[in-house]
């Protein structure tokens, strides 16, 4: 017999909210995680966004905090008791929207803080008090520095999308945050993939955790029809996207590119081709990104072009298809990307474009998902396009500009740290960069650098001028050992 929400012993106001949201029965991750979190256990969850994992941790957290619920207007009566950290602004915002909905009929308060927008309204929200705080790591530390948040009463700490946080270089920030929390607390960690680095992180802060898993580890969604199309050149790929959208009558499709400039340019070109397209990436303002996402969810935009970081964790249900305009440099990203479609029993389509030099990237993906993907040739003509002199030339140039820009911003004011710079492809072997025609630009294979002290640590790990491989090889041992500093609880 399947589990019901009423089986968990959740308080009536929480159950009422769940019922109103139309949740009929718990998803598998909820059925597994909710009882464990209610018991106060540390949990390591292997689950992607789209599996219902937010409610899997948020409902039992609210239940555990119900003992503190009070209607007092005094901020002192509403200290932060649960801290949830997430890698991107969008994901943090989504978690907040869900938590606020689940807590609607309780007097527990929630708030969200993330970078890229004015900090003042967030300060006001912090001052008013909230039991559940959702945050991106950088902006949370800004609040800590400004003394607008106090984490000394946190009882439950959640790290969502942990793999992506490490990919984005948040490890030092995470360690700082953990050091600010009381030693005695409950910890929950969720990740879609489990590398050795993730395991080490888990070991460093989880106490006797129970693992819950919904999909086979590192397995790509099984109900997703995956196909790879070989096209003749980079220039032919845009026409190929338009053809795939039209041939498959795709009314809503997420298209992934490996670079921000690539995303913006592809969206503009698809629009010129008569498709209703827009792009979402880290260079857009938070408001623009949320507005674009809303328009896509409502069906006002048919083709949303996104980078991995921008698309990470987006809660877009029943997406019929994703297209990989570029094969990802990191095979784990392939799993994240295609996890956007074919959710909750629905079938989906994951179509990938490749050119000759992408063979290596495809091989890495096939190795990770443990299956061969069917490859077909797609005959499309490369358009003559004066806008686009050469992919190999202008992408690195744009990124050099990004490096300069981010270099200044991230080292100075912390205000941009809600999302560190985007294409930190976890320094993949140089072969990937070479394959992508980016071999000359160190931006693509240098480890993430944020503030000055972290940069110093990173430099030790990867001496300047080191290659992607060298940086990758040295990074896991040195910064992890130095920054995590053993078990906490």
- Binding flag, residue 342, ligand AMP (CB under 6 A): no
If one asks whether residue 51 binds ligand AMP (CB under 6 A), the answer comes out as yes
110 binds ligand AMP (CB under 6 A): no
Residue 52, interface with ligand AMP (CB under 6 A)? yes
Q: At what angle do helices 260-272 and 391-411 cross, to 10 degrees?
A: 130
How many Cβ atoms sit within 10 Å of the Cβ of residue 64? 18
Q: Distance between CA 107 and CA 489 in Å, rounded?
A: 29
Is residue 348 part of the contact set for ligand AMP (CB under 6 A)? no
* Sheet of strand 186-191, all strands in order from the earlier edge strand to the far edge: 110-113, 132-135, 82-85, 156-159, 186-191, 43-46, 210-213
23 binds ligand AMP (CB under 6 A): yes
Compute how many residues bind ligand AMP; rule: CB under 6 A. 13
d(CA 275, CA 303): 7
Looking at 287-341, which runs of residues are DSSP E strands?
303-306, 321-324
Q: Is 191 in the site for ligand AMP (CB under 6 A)?
A: no
Question: Binding of ligand AMP at residue 4 (CB under 6 A)?
Answer: no
Tokens of 141: 């530390």
Q: Which is nearer to ligand AMP, 52 or 342 (CB)?
A: 52
Q: Considering the complex, what minimum distance in angstroms separates the CB of residue 98 from ligand AMP?
A: 6
Q: What is the 3-state secondary structure (H, E, C) of 57-92?
A: HHHHHHHHHHHHCCCCCCHHHCCCCEEEECCCHHHH
Q: By C-beta, is 315 or 422 nearer to ligand AMP?
A: 315
Rounded to whole angstroms, the Cα distance separating 436 from 432 reads: 6
- Concatenated DSSP letters of 449-485: --SHHHHHHHHHHS-TT--HHHHHHHTTHHHHHHHH-
| Residues in region 31-50 near ligand AMP by CB under 6 A | 49-50
- Residue closer to ligand AMP by CB (options 290, 473) is 290
Joined together, the tokens standing for residue 127 give 């001052």
CA–CA dist 418, 118 (Å, integer): 12
Alpha helices, DSSP H, located in 379-421 = 391-411
Shortest separation between residue 86's beta carbon and ligand AMP, angstroms = 11
- What is the contact mask toward ligand AMP in residues 280 to 319, using x (rule: CB under 6 A)? -----------------------------------x-x--
Which of 254/433 has CB closer to ligand AMP?
A: 254
Q: Which of 325, 292, 470 has the alpha carbon at shortest distance from 395?
A: 325
- Decide if residue 53 touches ligand AMP (CB under 6 A): yes
Stretch that binds ligand AMP, among 23-31, 294-302, 363-371, 430-438 (CB under 6 A): 23-31
Provide the minimum distance between the beta carbon of 53 and ligand AMP in the complex, in angstroms, as a whole number. Answer: 5
Show the site string, 145-174: x = touches ligand AMP by CB under 6 A, - = not: ------------------------------
Based on its alpha-carbon atoms, the radius of gyration of the chain, rounded to whole angstroms, reads: 22
**402 part of the interface to ligand AMP, by CB under 6 A:** no
Q: Determine, following the binding rule CB under 6 A, whether residue 27 of this chain makes contact with ligand AMP.
A: yes
For the bound state, the minimum distance from the C-beta of residue 217 to ligand AMP, rounded and expressed in Å, comes to 17
Any idea what DSSP says for residue 448?
Answer: P
List interacting residues with ligand AMP (CB under 6 A).
23, 26-27, 30, 49-55, 315, 317
């Amino acid at each position: 017999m399947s589990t019901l929400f009423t089986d968990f012993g959740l308080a009536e106001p929480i159950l009422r909210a769940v019922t109103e949201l139309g949740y009929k029965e718990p998803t598998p991750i909820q059925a597994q995680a909710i009882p464990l979190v209610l018991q106060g256990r540390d949990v390591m969850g292997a689950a992607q966004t789209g599996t219902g994992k937010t409610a899997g941790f948020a409902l039992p957290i609210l239940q555990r905090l119900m003992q503190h619920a009070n209607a007092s207007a005094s901020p002192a009566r509403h200290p932060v008791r649960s801290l949830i950290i997430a890698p991107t602004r969008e994901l943090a915002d989504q978690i907040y929207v869900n938590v606020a909905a689940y807590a609607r009929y309780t007097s527990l308060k929630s708030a969200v803080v993330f970078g890229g927008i004015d900090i003042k309204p967030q300060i006001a929200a912090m001052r008013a008090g909230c039991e559940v705080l959702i945050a991106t790591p950088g902006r949370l530390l800004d609040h800590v520095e400004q003394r607008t948040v106090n984490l000394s009463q946190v009882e439950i700490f959640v790290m969502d999308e942990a793999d992506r946080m490490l990919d984005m270089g948040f490890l030092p920030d995470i360690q700082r945050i953990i050091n600010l929390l009381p030693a005695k607390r409950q910890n929950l960690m969720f990740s879609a993939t489990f590398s050795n680095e993730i395991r080490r992180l888990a070991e460093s802060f989880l106490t006797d955790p129970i693992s819950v898993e919904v999909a086979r580890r590192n397995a790509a969604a099984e109900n997703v029809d995956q196909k790879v199309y070989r096209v003749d050149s980079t220039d032919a790929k845009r026409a190929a996207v338009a053809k795939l959208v039209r041939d498959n009558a795709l009314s809503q499709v997420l298209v992934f590119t490996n670079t921000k400039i690539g995303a913006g340019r592809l969206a503009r070109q698809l629009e010129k081709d008569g498709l209703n397209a827009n792009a979402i990436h880290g260079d857009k303002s938070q408001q623009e990104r949320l507005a674009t996402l809303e328009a896509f969810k409502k069906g006002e935009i048919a083709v949303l072009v996104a980078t991995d970081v921008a698309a990470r964790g987006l809660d877009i249900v029943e997406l019929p298809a994703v297209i990989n305009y570029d094969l990802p440099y990191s095979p784990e990203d392939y799993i994240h990307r295609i996890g956007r479609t074919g959710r909750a029993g629905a079938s989906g389509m994951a179509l990938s474009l490749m050119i000759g030099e992408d063979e290596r990237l495809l091989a890495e993906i096939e190795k990770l998902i443990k299956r061969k993907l069917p490859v077909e040739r797609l005959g499309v003509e490369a358009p003559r396009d004066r806008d686009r002199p050469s992919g190999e030339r202008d992408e690195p140039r744009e990124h050099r500009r990004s490096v300069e820009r981010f270099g200044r911003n991230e080292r100075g004011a912390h205000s941009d740290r809600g999302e560190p710079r985007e294409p930190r492809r976890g320094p993949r072997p140089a072969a990937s960069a070479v394959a992508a025609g980016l071999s000359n630009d160190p931006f693509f294979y240098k480890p993430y650098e944020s503030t000055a002290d972290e940069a110093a640590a990173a430099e030790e790990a990867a001496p300047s001028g080191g290659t992607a491989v060298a940086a990758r090889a040295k990074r896991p041992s040195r910064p992890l050992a130095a920054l995590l500093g053993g078990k906490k609880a």
